Structure 1
Amino acid sequence: MSESGSEMSYADVVASGPQQSAEEARANPVDEVIPTDQSVESLIDVNTGVAVVPNDFLEQEVQTETQAKRIELEEAAAAEAAEAAEAEKKAEKREARKEKASDKASDKAAKKEKAKTLAQNPIIQANGVLFAIAAIALGFGAYRKHQAGQLTWKLAGLWSVGVATLVGGDYCLSNFLWKKYPFSKK
C-alpha cells in the first residue's frame, strides 16, 4: 500500500518495481540423480503394482481376470441350466409315458368291464347264437355241395346275398330292441 491511502494491486506493485534480467526470470535448475549400482539397489521399486499390457488390450474380448472368472461362472451356470432343463424334459417324458401307460391300463380295464356288461345283454347273446347257427349251416351246406360237385360261384354269390340280408335284418331288429329295451347292469 502506498502512503497516499490509495490501494494498489499486487500486479501494479510488481510492475512498478525494477525489471528482472533473463537469468533471474529463469527457474532454478533441478538436481539430477546419477544412478550407480549401489544407489539403484537401495531404491524402492515403485512399479511393482503396474502391469504392462499389449497394444491390442482394448480390442481383446476378455481384458481382466475378473471378466474371465465372470465368463467362466456364466458358462458354468448356463451349462447347469441346460443340464437341469434336459433332466426336466426327461422327467416330463417319463411322467407322460407313465400317464399314457396308466391311461391304457384304465382304458383296457374299462373295455373289459364294458365287454362283460355287453356279454350279459340278451340281445347280444341272441345275435351270437344266430350267427353261430348261420355259420355252421353255411359251412355244412357248402361242404355237402362240394362233395356232390354242385358248389359253383353262382351258388356262393346267392348265399352271400342271403348272408347280407340276414345281417341287415338282424341289425334293424337289434337296433329296434336296443332302443325299446335298454339294458343296464344291475
Structure 2
Amino acid sequence: MAENVKARERDLLLLSYADVAASGPKQSAEELRQAAAPHPPSVVTNESASTASLVDVDMPSVHTVPPDFTEQEVKTDTQANRIEREASAKKAKAKRGAHEADNWLQAQFSKLSDGTAGALAVANLASVVGLSSYLGYKAWGLYENGRLTWQNIGIGVGILAAVGAAESVVGRYLYKGKKADSS
C-alpha cells in the first residue's frame, strides 16, 4: 500500500497544468460564453478608401539608390561639396605658396646692386656661350669621326633648351627685381 501511495504522489508531481485543470469542476456552456473574448468589430467594405495620400512610386519625390551605391567613392551631395571645398583650399594654398616664392626671389634679386646684377648677367651670358661652344666642339669631333647621329644632335639641342629655359627664368626675376628698385 505504501508503494501505491508513493507512486500516486510521484504521478501527481508529474502532472501538467492542463491535467490539473481538466481534473477540476467542469464549466457550463453559459459560463464558457461569458468567459470568451468579445467578437472583433466588423469592417464595412462598401466604403472606398482614398488613395490620394499614398505615395506613388512613379512620382519624382521617391528617390532610389543606384545598385553601385556602396562602391561609389562619393555617396552624398554634402560629401561632394566638402571634397570640392578641400580641393579649392589646396589650390589656393599652393597658389599662395608659389606667389610667396616668387616674391622672395624678386626680393633677393632686387637686393642686388647694379654692379652685381650686371656681373650676374655677364656670368649667365658667358656660361651659355661657353656651354654652346663646348657642345659645338664635341659635335665637330663626332662629325669628323663619322659618329655624329641625330640622337647626339637631339641631346645637344635638349641641353641648350634646358639651360636657356633656366636662364630665362633667372633673367625674368632679375628684370622684375631691377624694375622694383627703379620704382
TM-score category of the 2 structures, normalised to the smaller one = 0.3 to 0.5
Which structure is richer in relative contact order (CA contacts within 8 A, separation 6 or more)?
A: 2
User: Under a length normalisation based on structure 2, what TM-score does the superposition of the two structures give?
Assistant: 0.34
User: Under a length normalisation based on structure 1, what TM-score does the superposition of the two structures give?
Assistant: 0.34
